[in-house]
Structure 1
């Protein structure tokens, strides 16, 4: 009964991770389900199962799994020494007039979400290891993982075939998967299933239904996964990763069946290495690019700038999307910037951590391959882990799909399966030889506990550890469910009292400006809407505001100080309410520094800046306002009505600033602006200032 529940929990968790969008409620569901499964394992699993888990895990593997969680906790913890944390916290503290502890991370919500993401994957891997200790259940689990990866691959293939990702604008994807990781892992799994089916057909004279149908199912899965890989937009990089993973599985199969012995193993591995190097030479490499983005098929302009600014300690797990608005080009959609997983890890966790992960992955692949070659039967499971590890190393340099929630859970289940069957369970074999009744499962009562009394201390420690993980998962589930969808618990509808004011607020803010679900890990955040032609109306935010709105925004900024849209909204509300609590100029500066090239914020930012006399008297802020005016006048015709509206509502100092600026380009345009008429095109586009505005503010 216990094993059936555990298998159901892990399959539902992996399937739900692909079938639901990446939102806190989805992760809360997975966390709650896995917390129940881990707690049930700690309490009800038999001593033989716990002893087998202790033998499989080992102290080294436990330490490896604990290091990322410890490092994320260090990034979240307040830095005791002033100046060692990120400078954004000191700047935000001065702007909010509130003491904020310095931290390594630049976004607390994002790092907490990354921590919860990682702990969920570790819990799933442990549950998979417990379930897959039995060889029959290991085969069932392999079949389920192949089915899930095949369905996801078929969906990705459909999206690529239809075009435009298979959906028109505004449609909601059926499955939350974008990278080729599920297809690559599915290809490795299906290749292993096919080799296992080939061996079963040779050994079994009377072929039951399972043995007869497994090759056809594996062949269908292979074709769908391979088609999805070839149709993906990552070119030779993804194909090379898949080739390497499948090659390792086939190499293990060849060694076990035809090339036994030292020289046979050496010849097979040498052939696999030559084929891999030949495929690697076909991969396009960007010249003079950082190693972490050299194999990427997507333009990494902003990512390369982020890599140059990244420190050895990182900016905090999950903070890539929070840093992206600072470094992207003017008017560049956020959706076009797709980093590799290696680049995201180097930015968020630091390059030493990235190098450590790559070394552990390569060493782990070698260890699993060695375990596979030492087993006489069921060697294919450890070979799956070796092939998947090497494939993911290459994929980390090509795309960021491994960091998606569904793909990471699928990988965790795969590695749990590989570890569970990586070595022979001597205790189970001894017990089977002593008893006429075979061991039925993990929760089988009786004398199966006798051979493992020497593992009593280890068993107790493992049960305590599993219980601790369950408590942590329960805590994270409560945290996710308690977190509001909007900062401070108030939705955007609650910030303004009436419909007219609400529509005005929605016009001046991007669609996702007040959302703070903390899911900032993805390297492909939703693109902010570009300014529309009604920028003039949007730049006059004459709306009634909820009295608690400034407090709501300030509360969100205390944990996410890189939200340029929230800094701008707080500045606009403070100016509208004539608040003495915040300095409007300081808030506007932070809006510029944290979102310098977000054109969706430009109308409201010009209105707030030109209408404040103290803003114009600040030399630094005056130069930033002039930059926005140049962009609206010379480079973005859709923003000229917004510039006119901001000019008409500006203070005397603000109008003088715009007069001096535009008179240098075209006096006719200035006269048209004063009459509220359309502004003729400029005689010549002025050169845009350097995009270094705001760079380093998060450093």
Structure 2
């Protein structure tokens, strides 16, 4: 597995370069790397790895639902009420009854989205098997956190007029595309601080005085947190700043629950109740809010993209227009004279349009299942609990953040999130876990 792990580290190290390379090149590079990693992991997997991987069969439905749904959107369907109105209209206009009735208005784009999802899923599976080893997990956490912090630093540098003018590629980071990376950087740096303190204080159960290496690691972690939060503030992401603070609270909750000896399931249920109460209180303030505005909880600065999303959502059916088709819809619904295609105001709004309204609660439910598993694993773990607690915090912050902006739609953010999920799942069970 050394080859696969080296490729995974190289992939994460290269993620900050996404600002300077084309998306198509990065996409095909991920396809190649994940194929090699998955093949290497599969051939080198031990019986213990296979047994451990069976633990995650509970996520089979969560992994298979996007595949099945995209396939349904692509293939011809005999039930006309499920299909997009564009196909019967095209059949009449072209006088060609052989035109297939599909949900997706662009099956090719949906097929490319399915291929991308399979690559990201392969990355998660490979990371789960590779990060079961504690030493590899530590290296992976440090690499992921460092790459995310560097992206946050690039985004912060884009706010400096001199650098943005001299290096236009850095200036392009002055968008919301890398807000998720800043969130991962902030929570990942918190995990690295916890890791440094755990490794320093828990050897043979002895509490030793503070050392220079420990203080240096803590200083680096604090600096990374400051850079990440400053990046979010500079991007005007005040809501994500608050959500990141909520992520810190989750990690603190895990540490407190472990110290007080709480059991994993009661702790997870208590955290879920607190999150549900917060969500209900928030949504109650927006009962009269139109659906598209609710799915883009903070009104976007780009009112044009919000208007396009509102028009597209009002015309879309409960089955959606097809994953990966928003760019085509934007050209249809945007005002005349707008040059480039508009982006979705939020990830949740895009999911409601492309996947259909029914997909929002389903995908949110799967995400909460992942959160509860990671949180329960973090409380049940020993000194390695910071891996799973960081993943639990990242997952719930990203879920809430999907209603704020569209940064999760960025391929770089998806790669980093996949690595974070794989790392947390791999370290949610172990010899010191009681789950």
TM over 0.5, yes or no?
A: yes
CA deviation vs aligned residue, 1:498-536 (integer Å, no higher than 9, x gap): xxxxxxxxxxxxxxxxxxxxxxxxxxxxxxxxxxxxxxx
Taking a change above 3 Å as real, the CA distance of residues 100 and 172 of structure 1, as seen in their structure-2 partners, is farther
Instruction: After TM superposition, list the pairs within 5 Å mapping 1:316-395 onto structure 2.
Output: 316-332=322-338, 334=340, 338-395=344-401
1:124 paired residue number: 123
User: Which residue, 234, 237, 240 being the options, matches 2:239?
Assistant: 237
d(CA) in 2 for partners of 1:293, 1:313: 20
Contact 2:109-2:325 within 8 A present in 1 as well = yes
Contact 1:237-1:394 within 8 A present in 2 as well = no
Shift of 1:14: 3.6
2:47 paired residue number: 47
Secondary structure in structure 2 of the residue aligned to 1:422: coil
Secondary structure in structure 2 of the residue aligned to 1:351: coil
User: Which residue, 220, 223, 227 being the options, matches 2:226?
Assistant: 223
2:319 aligned with 1:313, yes or no? yes
Gaps of 5+ in 2: none
d(CA) in 2 for partners of 1:382, 1:417: 8
Secondary structure in structure 1 of the residue aligned to 2:330: helix
d(CA) in 2 for partners of 1:402, 1:184: 11
d(CA) in 2 for partners of 1:226, 1:106: 40
Taking a change above 3 Å as real, the CA distance of residues 160 and 173 of structure 1, as seen in their structure-2 partners, is closer
2:106 aligned with 1:103, yes or no? no
d(CA) in 1 for partners of 2:235, 2:194: 26
CA root-mean-square deviation: 3.4
Secondary structure in structure 2 of the residue aligned to 1:27: helix
2:85 paired residue number: 87
1:657 paired residue number: none
Secondary structure in structure 2 of the residue aligned to 1:11: helix
d(CA) in 2 for partners of 1:286, 1:148: 39
CA deviation vs aligned residue, 1:16-42 (integer Å, no higher than 9, x gap): 454234533321111011101101111
Gaps of 5+ in 1: 428-699
1:642 paired residue number: none
2:418 paired residue number: 412
Q: Which runs of 4+ in 1 moved over 6 A?
A: 172-177, 206-209, 284-287
Taking a change above 3 Å as real, the CA distance of residues 200 and 43 of structure 1, as seen in their structure-2 partners, is closer
1:402 paired residue number: 408
d(CA) in 1 for partners of 2:364, 2:22: 26
CA deviation vs aligned residue, 1:533-561 (integer Å, no higher than 9, x gap): xxxxxxxxxxxxxxxxxxxxxxxxxxxxx
Shift of 1:206: 8.1
d(CA) in 1 for partners of 2:327, 2:337: 16
CA deviation vs aligned residue, 1:621-644 (integer Å, no higher than 9, x gap): xxxxxxxxxxxxxxxxxxxxxxxx
2:290 aligned with 1:292, yes or no? no
1:251 paired residue number: 253
Contact 2:382-2:432 within 8 A present in 1 as well = no
Taking a change above 3 Å as real, the CA distance of residues 425 and 70 of structure 1, as seen in their structure-2 partners, is farther
Give the TM-score normalised by structure 2: 0.85
Greater Rg, structure 1 or structure 2?
1
d(CA) in 2 for partners of 1:210, 1:75: 54
2:192 aligned with 1:193, yes or no? yes
d(CA) in 1 for partners of 2:257, 2:52: 27
Shift of 1:171: 5.7
Taking a change above 3 Å as real, the CA distance of residues 15 and 101 of structure 1, as seen in their structure-2 partners, is farther
d(CA) in 1 for partners of 2:351, 2:191: 30
User: Which residue, 66, 75, 78 being the options, matches 1:77?
Assistant: 75
d(CA) in 2 for partners of 1:145, 1:402: 16
Taking a change above 3 Å as real, the CA distance of residues 174 and 51 of structure 1, as seen in their structure-2 partners, is farther
Secondary structure in structure 2 of the residue aligned to 1:297: coil
1:260 paired residue number: 261
Shift of 1:226: 1.1
Secondary structure in structure 2 of the residue aligned to 1:160: coil
Secondary structure in structure 2 of the residue aligned to 1:330: coil
2:158 aligned with 1:159, yes or no? yes
Taking a change above 3 Å as real, the CA distance of residues 12 and 100 of structure 1, as seen in their structure-2 partners, is farther
Taking a change above 3 Å as real, the CA distance of residues 44 and 371 of structure 1, as seen in their structure-2 partners, is closer
Shift of 1:213: 3.2
Taking a change above 3 Å as real, the CA distance of residues 11 and 285 of structure 1, as seen in their structure-2 partners, is farther
User: Which residue, 35, 45, 68 being the options, matches 2:66?
Assistant: 68
Secondary structure in structure 2 of the residue aligned to 1:80: coil
d(CA) in 1 for partners of 2:116, 2:172: 21
Contact 1:179-1:400 within 8 A present in 2 as well = no
Taking a change above 3 Å as real, the CA distance of residues 170 and 202 of structure 1, as seen in their structure-2 partners, is closer
Contact 1:181-1:401 within 8 A present in 2 as well = yes
Taking a change above 3 Å as real, the CA distance of residues 336 and 115 of structure 1, as seen in their structure-2 partners, is closer
1:662 paired residue number: none
d(CA) in 2 for partners of 1:30, 1:97: 42
Taking a change above 3 Å as real, the CA distance of residues 182 and 285 of structure 1, as seen in their structure-2 partners, is farther
Shift of 1:113: 2.0
d(CA) in 1 for partners of 2:339, 2:168: 16
Give the TM-score normalised by structure 1: 0.54
2:27 aligned with 1:24, yes or no? no
d(CA) in 2 for partners of 1:286, 1:221: 38
Contact 2:87-2:99 within 8 A present in 1 as well = yes
Taking a change above 3 Å as real, the CA distance of residues 421 and 370 of structure 1, as seen in their structure-2 partners, is same
